[in-house]
Structure formats: C-alpha cells, structure tokens
Amino acid sequence: MLMKTFYAAFAVVLVSAAISDDPAFAHHSFNMFDVKPESEIVLEGVVKQWDFTNPHSWLTVTVTNPDGTKTDWSLEGAAVAALVPKGITIKTYKVGDKVTVVAGPLKDGRKGGILKFVQHADGSYTLPNDAGNIGQEALDRWKTQKKK
C-alpha cells in the first residue's frame, strides 16, 4: 500500500514538473483559423479600424488590390489584458497608418483571420497576436527569410 502511495506521489510530482509550455489562451477555440505557417497571408495596406477591446482586439486593414479595388480584412488579436503588458495600446495602430500584416486566414475564405504580427512603416514590429506563440514564430520565420 505504501509503495503504491509512493509510486503515485512520484508520478504526480514528476508530471507536475514536466509542464512548462503556455497553452493557447483565449475565450474561444481557434478552429476557424488556418494557423499553419504555409497558409500565412501577407497584407499590405492601411489601418481602417483598431478595436482595442476584450475579449479580443480586432484590426481592420484596407488593402488595394492589383485591379485598383479595395478590400477590408478584419483580423483578430489578443485581449486588451494581454496586450497592455506588451506595450500595445489603443494608440498603437492609427487610422491611415501604412502597415504590413502577417496573419492566419479564416478557413472559410472570408476576408478575415488571426493576427500574427504587424510591421509598421518605420520597419518596427508589434505582436498583437493571441493563440500562444504564433506571432513570434511567424516573425522569426519572416526575419530568417529576409536574411536569405
């Protein structure tokens, strides 16, 4: 009996120590987004709207298409509660700002997706993403590809 207790205690302690990864936190499942690296979309446009809200922020970017028409893309980011500690505020994206956005698209083909990172006109980057580390990982890939 005591040995059983020992093994149980040993297992519990080891298992508890093995955890270290942050799971993706948000108030909904991300199954509507394609977050795979190979599916990333790159949008160059201007900020139309920055909704800095809980439970999620949304950045709407107007992209001018090759034929001259314009398309609004709406992209979901993290909660205000997660962005403020990262230094992202209500003033980080202003209407009319030129930005390049890397995102994971909606699987159903509508003009929306999940934010990964934003490159500003001065070349700096911000990471307003939710869903764990997808923003930093995408930015790392982006920088690596640029070096090649």
Site residues, another protein (CB under 8 A)? 2-3, 5-6, 8-25, 27-32, 35, 49-56, 58, 60, 72, 74, 76, 79-82, 84-85, 90-91, 95, 106, 108, 110-112
Nearer to another protein, 109 or 123 (CB): 109
Nearer to another protein, 7 or 121 (CB): 7
111 near 47, Cβ under 8 Å?
A: no
123 near 142, Cβ under 8 Å?
A: no
Q: What is the DSSP letter of 22?
A: P
Nearer to another protein, 134 or 139 (CB): 134
Examine residue 55 and say whether the peptide bond preceding it is cis (omega within 30 degrees of 0). yes
Scored b (16 or more CB within 10 A) or e, 109-143 reads eebbbbbbbbbeeeeeebbbbbbbebbeebbeebe
Tell the smallest beta-carbon distance from residue 20 to another protein (Å). 5
Separation of alpha carbons 59 and 21, rounded Å = 27
Tell the smallest beta-carbon distance from residue 25 to another protein (Å). 4
Nearer to another protein, 6 or 64 (CB): 6
Tell the smallest beta-carbon distance from residue 59 to another protein (Å). 11
Tell the smallest beta-carbon distance from residue 148 to another protein (Å). 28
